[in-house]
Amino acid sequence: MEKGRTILKDKQFQLTIDRLSHQLIENHDDFSNACLIGIQPKGTFLAQRLHAKLLELTGLDSIEMGILDVTFYRDDFRTRLKPLSPSQTKMDFLVEDKNVILADDVLYSGRTVRAALTALEHYGRARKIELVTMVDRHYNRHLPITSDYIGMKVDALDEAYVSVEWKDVQGEDKIILYPKR
């Protein structure tokens, strides 16, 4: 992959997580009827970071959080050149009549979120579903899906690739824009 350009890192990255957490608190108060669900694989990092920050800011003992794999709900899983390796789903609760906050790192075409919406149906009928993303590539949507909470918007050509890197995994919090994938 060609050398990318860092467009957000360190302090600004953490400020973005803080801002998203405050926005969620404004809309969900004590989270008594809300749950946070990270979309596997990369949305789980955002969900975990938000979950920790929400607990810290609210002083709550717990906020329901799950991790959802959407591998076999994608509309392209049969057309992949190499076999898919599903991730694990960890959901020990139902979403019936709850406000669900789906988390993903980058909203690009909208297909992953559509798959998540379908997979989520197996856990009940949510009262409301919202989407929180670290990056919104709003000019590249294939489906009419938008994010309710956005870390940052990135205008990039279709060939460009946006990568969110996490301190826990890659050693540093940053968002990188690559000219080509």
- CA-based torsion, 16, 22, 26, 28: positive or negative: positive
Residue 30 counted as domain residue: yes
Give the relative orientation of helices 43-58 and 10-28 as an angle to the nearest 10 degrees.
Answer: 70
Q: What is the domain extent for residue 142? A: 12-72+88-156
The pLDDT, as a whole number, for residue 80 is 62
Residue 107, helix vs strand vs coil: strand
Please report which confidence band the pLDDT of residue 157 belongs to, taking 50, 70 and 90 as the band edges. confident
pLDDT at residue 76 is higher than 60: yes
Q: What is the side-by-side order of every strand in the sheet holding 174-178?
A: 5-9, 174-178, 161-165
> Which CATH number covers residue 125?
3.40.50.2020
Confidence of residue 181 (pLDDT cuts 50, 70, 90): low
Name the average pLDDT for the chain: 93
Is 65 a domain residue? yes
Note the helical H segments in the chain.
Answer: 10-28, 43-58, 111-120, 167-170
Residue 82 belongs to some domain of the structure: no
Please state the pTM of the whole predicted model: 0.93
Total number of domains in the chain: 1
